[in-house]
Amino acid sequence: METRALRVRLYPTGSQKELLEKHFGANRFIWNYFLQKRTEYYAESKARGKAQGMNYFRTTKLLTLLKEEKEWLYEISSQSLQQTLRKLDNAFTAFFRKNSSYPVFRSKKGKQYFVTPQGAKCNEYRLFIPKFMEGIRFRDKHQIPEEINQVIVTKEVDRYYASIMYESDDHHAKGKEQIGIDMGLKQFATLSNGIQIENPRLINKFESRIKRQQKKMSRKRRGSNNRKKNIIRLQKLYQHLTDARADFMHKVSTAIAKLSDTIVMEDLNIQGMMQNHHLAKGIGDVSWYRFKRMLEYKAEWRGIEFIEIGMFDASSRVCSRCGWYKRDLKLSDRVFHCNACGLIIDRDLNAAINIRNMGLIKVGRGTPELTPVEIATSAELFNRGGLRDAGQ
Ligand SMILES: [Zn+2]
């Protein structure tokens, strides 16, 4: 693993620009305020005969108190403010070690920047940092960091940039797999190597809460205060749900990308869904599209082949071992019994293997040797994919 940096130009909206400016201003304010405090403290201790600096933890405590006084600081990502205190502390340490001169005040005319030390994510279009949860648009063609260490946002004249620091291991390890993915309703996804990924409980929890709130709201009078409160509660729940989903899908897609050298997925088009068994899975489940896009760009980023095949009804009806076509497969059949070769296999796993084989045939790589696989747990995927703390 090595740390790398990717610099992208940001295209914030009008209101995002305002909030970015507030971040520059607040971090400059905090730097100057605590530089002043530390200077006074240093002078006083010197006058008492023992020159010493104020420590970092003291400044974080003072910051908490300062926020009570200056409420506008709550608008600012607290991590970025703490990072400024850190940098100031480093500047003082360097000064005391005689490595550099005394820290100076920051000016409006100087370099404008703030640092987000953690909690940043990005997809192919947007950078998500604390307080900018809807994401700031950026343009970049190829490299999308998956795990970000820190982000430095800067302003140069009237342009905004982000330097994204991330860990990367570029070498493609040997022994990676060709993976077909069947998206499901019962399972979030089934992989052709036997791994099944369940929908996280957290998401189900939010979904049932949303249903409850919707029911409650339907009983309330239009325009009433209770109804307004209900609407706000609902909006918050939707936000939580969206965040939890995105987080889950990011983790799963990263784990899959790490263990694959080829990924095959069906083309998840609405038309296809309406014509076949995927109808039951819920038309227009946009999170599937997002998941596929995530996998697509993560594959591209890692140099993994991503193959898309047309959606075909046969993916669940054909025996993945001998090719026999099961005409009478019902939606309720969770297990596929092959009348020709006797294979008994989980329905979704059978589909995932067929999807993988179709993909490989499509690009002229033939059918891999079929080996019976056991159903593993998603825990195994997470271990093999190097995914930490996956269980939501
Ligand atoms: Zn068979």
What amino acid occupies position 313?
D
Cα(318) to centroid(ligand 1), Å: 8
Share of the chain above pLDDT 90, in %: 27
Cα(339) to centroid(ligand 1), Å: 7
Catalytic residue among 89, 146, 182, 296: 182
Q: What is the mean pLDDT of residues 347-369?
A: 78
Whole-number Cα distances in Å, 126 to 129, 150, 165, 209, 309: 10, 15, 15, 29, 28
Cα(346) to centroid(ligand 1), Å: 13
Cα(354) to centroid(ligand 1), Å: 12
pTM of the model: 0.49
pLDDT: which is higher, 354 or 310: 354
Query: In the annotation, is 346 catalytic?
Result: no
Cα separation, 77 vs 75, in Å, equals 7
Q: Is the pLDDT of residue 381 over 60?
A: no
Categorize the per-residue pLDDT at 386 as very low, low, confident or very high, splitting at 50, 70 and 90. Answer: very low
pLDDT of residue 305: 79
* Encoded tokens for 265: 């997925």
Query: In the annotation, is 266 catalytic?
Result: yes
Q: What is the pLDDT of residues 51-95, one digit of tens each?
A: 888 989 999 999 999 999 999 999 999 999 999 999 899 888 878
Cα separation, 22 vs 76, in Å, equals 7
pLDDT of residue 378: 34
pLDDT of residue 27: 96
Cα(161) to centroid(ligand 1), Å: 56
Cα separation, 312 vs 276, in Å, equals 8
Query: In the annotation, is 313 catalytic?
Result: no
Cα separation, 367 vs 147, in Å, equals 34
What is the Rg, in whole angstroms, of the alpha carbon atoms belonging to the chain?
Answer: 27
Buried/exposed code over 184-212 (b: 16+ C-beta within 10 A; e: otherwise): beebbbbbbbbbbbebbebbeebeeebee
Categorize the per-residue pLDDT at 156 as very low, low, confident or very high, splitting at 50, 70 and 90. Answer: confident
- Residues with Cβ–ion distance below 5 A, ligand 1: 319, 321-322, 324, 338, 340-341, 343
pLDDT of residue 281: 44
Q: What is the mean pLDDT of residues 173-189?
A: 77
Cα(314) to centroid(ligand 1), Å: 13
Catalytic residue among 89, 146, 266, 296: 266
Total length of the chain: 392
Catalytic residue among 146, 296, 346, 348: 348
Cα separation, 349 vs 345, in Å, equals 7
Cα(137) to centroid(ligand 1), Å: 49
